[in-house]
């Protein structure tokens, strides 16, 4: 059998529907928490970046300062 055939989604190896739903719920909950954390950290990094741009370039200070 070619590997291409084995690569198709295999229902036999997929989790049962009930287990899938539980797993999906936990996964989504963790994902939501992770996205929240990431966006907060990312916002701080971007804010640092803009502060750095403002600090370095006189034209940025004139435009945004």
Q: What whole-number distance in Å separates Cα of residue 46 and Cα of residue 50? A: 6
Nearest to another protein of 18, 55 (CB atom): 55
Burial degree of 38 (CB within 10 A; 0-12, 13-18, 19+): exposed
Q: What whole-number distance in Å separates Cα of residue 44 and Cα of residue 61? A: 20
Nearest to another protein of 18, 45 (CB atom): 45
In the complex, the residues that contact another protein under the rule CB under 8 A are 2-4, 6-10, 13-15, 20, 23-24, 27-28, 31, 34-35, 37-39, 41-46, 48-49, 55-59
CB of 30 to another protein, least distance (A): 9
């Amino acid at each position: 059998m070619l590997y291409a055939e084995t690569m198709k989604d295999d229902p036999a190896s997929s989790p049962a529907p009930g287990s899938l739903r539980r797993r999906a719920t936990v996964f989504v909950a963790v994902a939501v928490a992770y996205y929240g954390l990431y966006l907060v950290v990312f916002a701080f990094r971007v804010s640092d970046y803009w502060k750095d741009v403002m600090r370095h370039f006189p034209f940025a200070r004139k435009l945004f300062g």
